[in-house]
Amino acid sequence: MDSVSGIGVLDKAMAIVDALEAGPLSLRELCETTAIPKPTAHRLAVALEAHGLARRDDDGRFALGFRVLPLAVSARPALERLRDDTGESVQLYVRRGDSRVCVLSLESPNELRTIVPLGASLPLAKGSAGRVLRGDADGKPWVESVEEREAGVASVSAPVRDPHGHVIAAVSVSGPVQRTSRQPGRKYGAAVARAAQAASG
């Protein structure tokens, strides 16, 4: 392949990212699409996976990583403001079947904080973000939960909607109960709702 930047390995890595924008690909399909030899394609795809730029789907195919999903990219400024305004960890979740997957995670600067790894798959049945993605936020600007999924943790989540009003993601603030209180919605609900609205575009 022709070099665009003059740095061959970077050009090959970006060719893989570009190829994955069309959807998940097996290693063989990735090689056919990019014309990159199998050993090199595998090595680069695994490296991209380590950085969150690629991931594996349930069938083991390579797919676009959560760090470069359009929604996660466009929502990041709103979530950074939310993290800075509240001082707590913030997350963006999307629904995948009966689970919610964290596609953006920004940690609180506090030593005692909630940590949700990028790509973490959590149940829909517990937690405010799960309830938002199940549709429990209809008519409500936000949903709160206290020690529902994890002892000592409270959260507030609000829906991100597409132009047709459908819920496509959930913005969440989470932190230790001693800071968020047992009524976290009273403390953070308005800010979370504003961030979700900004993320909705």
Residue that is written with structure tokens 């909705």 in the block: 200
Per-residue pLDDT of the chain (201 residues; tens, 9 = 90+): 556 667 889 999 999 988 987 778 999 999 999 999 999 999 999 999 988 889 888 788 998 887 777 888 899 999 999 999 999 999 999 988 888 889 899 999 999 999 998 878 898 999 999 999 999 888 899 999 999 989 999 999 999 998 888 899 999 999 999 999 999 999 999 999 999 999 987
Tokens of 32: 């056919």
CA distances in angstroms from 52 to 40, 48, 68, 71, 93, listed in the order given: 18, 6, 8, 15, 15
Strand partners of residue 144 = 156
Strand partners of residue 153 = 176
Q: Considering the entire predicted model, what is its pTM?
A: 0.74
Residue 4's pLDDT is: 60
Q: How far apart are CA 26 and CA 63, in angstroms?
A: 9
Tokens of 73: 């990219």
Residue 5's pLDDT is: 64
Of 68, 42, 66, 60, whose CA–CA distance to 13 is shortest? 42
Q: Are the C-beta atoms of 143 and 154 separated by less than 8 Å?
A: no
Domains and CATH numbers, the chain: 8-65 (1.10.10.10), 70-199 (3.30.450.40)
